[in-house]
Amino acid sequence: MLTPFKLTHLGGEHCVTGSCHLVQAGGQNFLVDCGMVQGEDRGLSMENWPVSPGQIHYVLLTHAHIDHIGRLPELVRRGFRGEILATHPTKALLIPMLRDALSFSDWGEEETSATVRRIEAISWGFEYGEPFALKNGLRFTFSRAGHILGSASVLLESESPRSSILFSGDLGVKNTPILPDPDPAPACDLLVMESTYGNRLHESRSDRVERLGQALVRAFSDGGKVFIPAFALGRVQELLYELNRLRTDDVLKEKFPQLAKLQRIPVMVDTPLGLELTKIASSLSAYWDREAKAQLRRGDHPLNFDRLYAVTNSTDHRRLLESKGPMVILAGSGMCTGGRILDHLKEGIEDPRNDIVFVGYQAHGTPGRYIQEYAGKPGGYVELDGERRSIRAKIHVLGGYSAHADQKELVEWVESMPEKPKAIKLVHGEAGAREVLGDVLRSRGYEVV
């Protein structure tokens, strides 16, 4: 069935981060993603790969999150001289994401700059839905995955013998602000599919902005700060869109009259990368969904509003740490593994007037996961930059903000195929999620390997 494709998982097969898959066909070696592991996940050292970086011809990227692109600098440093293929938005987001990641590494500025310039020179952007021919009867096609701006599923096809393999990438959720919905899945022989939330259902997406409003109403009742750990790419832009809705949507204002106070409360974006990526996202409005485009045409920019402030330098960041609430602070990283959110949490997590709102997945071993698990328990604490802090702030987990499809949506995406694949391989999920989703798919007649 897999002929002529040989598939080897180099990362992300049994965990949520570090996605990296080797496909060999027609004398060509492809990587689908080259991501960095996070939390307690483990990746395979490049020394132990079945082919060396110098033997890889192409890297196909599903999107620009670090757990899918973060090892590209290492790949280049170890001899990769092929090409990096992505959608146009992913190509635009790639370099800022890598520069930021390398700023936390032990790389020197000279090596960082040289590596980033090399990656930029060998990266190419493509449109959705346009098959592109490669050597030896192979071709690839990107389709919309709806996860973040530029995210894609990748279909690899061989003409002789005729065969195909589809990588779902990270699948998003319908009705996500700014993003078009995922495209229906194309037909394939083997489907390699993510399973992050394969064992659960999300809260209603239609209710999520209301739940955010309710959380803010409660949070501001005692004048504290609201900390929202947010991924710079995707989640910051979604939250700005929804905070704007809470200020302008007449239906929401009537439902939550207390939100009138929100008009006067500052929203601080304390993530330089998030600010840079928001500018890039604004320049990519051609890839927005219809609703966001219509809002822009009306003169209401979806990512900008009154009382929205950019915290651009370290001096302003330090001042913000000392500022009094009420205010909303968006800061990275999304799993609290680094970035400016750590400073805010060290200053504010022990104050019961403050609130922490989680709007994304927290991997095992990350501070965000520990905060969620130990909040409300006697003596509950978390280690932040090696410093112990008691968890006294109020914790909110808004599941409706996940950027990953849940079990129902994953199954619906598979069922959107014009015909059943010969086999499905589940990756990018914890063991329980993979097992549950596998059982559900088998019960519907699919072959899950």
Tens-digit pLDDT profile for residues 119-146: 999 999 999 999 999 989 999 999 999 9
The pLDDT tens digits of the residues spanning 14-27 come to 999 999 999 999 99
pLDDT at 204: 74
Residue 193 has pLDDT above 50, yes or no: yes
The pLDDT tens digits of the residues spanning 394-426 come to 999 987 788 899 999 999 999 999 999 999 999
The residue type of 38 is Q
CATH 3.60.15.10 fits 6-200+403-443, yes or no: yes
How many residues are recorded in the chain? Answer: 449
pLDDT at 446: 98
pLDDT at 62: 98
The residue type of 315 is T
Residue 44 has pLDDT above 80, yes or no: yes
Residue 345 has pLDDT above 70, yes or no: yes
pLDDT at 90: 98
pLDDT at 47: 95
Buried (b) or exposed (e) across 311-322, using 16+ Cβ within 10 A? beeeeebeebee
Domain covering 205-401, topology: Rossmann fold (3.40.50)
pLDDT at 398: 85
Confidence band for 168, pLDDT divided at 50, 70 and 90: very high
Pair 272, 230: CB distance under 8 Å: no
The pLDDT tens digits of the residues spanning 212-267 come to 888 888 778 888 999 999 999 999 999 999 998 888 888 887 877 777 777 788 99
Residue 162 has pLDDT above 70, yes or no: yes
Average pLDDT over residues 278-302: 94
- Distance from chain centroid for Cα 88: 17
pLDDT at 80: 97
Token pair of 77, please?
Answer: 């440093």
More confident residue, 353 or 40: 353
Confidence band for 3, pLDDT divided at 50, 70 and 90: low
pTM, full prediction: 0.90
Residue 94 has pLDDT above 90, yes or no: yes
pLDDT at 220: 80
Confidence band for 1, pLDDT divided at 50, 70 and 90: very low
Residue 2 has pLDDT above 50, yes or no: no
pLDDT at 260: 73
Secondary structure, 3-state, the chain: CCCCCEEEEEECCCCCCCCEEEEEECCEEEEECCCCCCCCCCCCCHHHCCCCHHHCCEEECCCCCHHHHCCHHHHHHCCCCCEEEEEHHHHHHHHHHHHHHHCCCCCCHHHHHHHHHHHHHCEEEECCCCCEECCCCEEEEEEECCCCCCCEEEEEEEECCEEEEEECCCCCCCCCCCCCCCCCCCCCCEEEEECCECCCCCCCHHHHHHHHHHHHHHHHHHCCEEEEECCCCCHHHHHHHHHHHHHHCHHHHHHCHHHHHHHHCCEEECCHHHHHHHHHHHHCHHHCCHHHHHHHHCCCCCCCCCCEEECCCHHHHHHHHHCCCCEEEEECCCCCCCCCHHHHHHHHCCCCCCEEEECCCCCCCCHHHHHHHHCCCCCCEEEECCEEEECCCEEEECHHHCCCCEHHHHHHHHHCCCCCCCEEEEECCCHHHHHHHHHHHHHCCCCEC
Q: What is the mean pLDDT of the chain?
A: 93
Domain residue ranges in the chain = 6-200+403-443, 205-401
Torsion of CA 153, 92, 17, 128, to 10 degrees: 0
pLDDT at 255: 79
pLDDT at 205: 66
Q: How much of the chain exceeds pLDDT 90, in percent?
A: 78
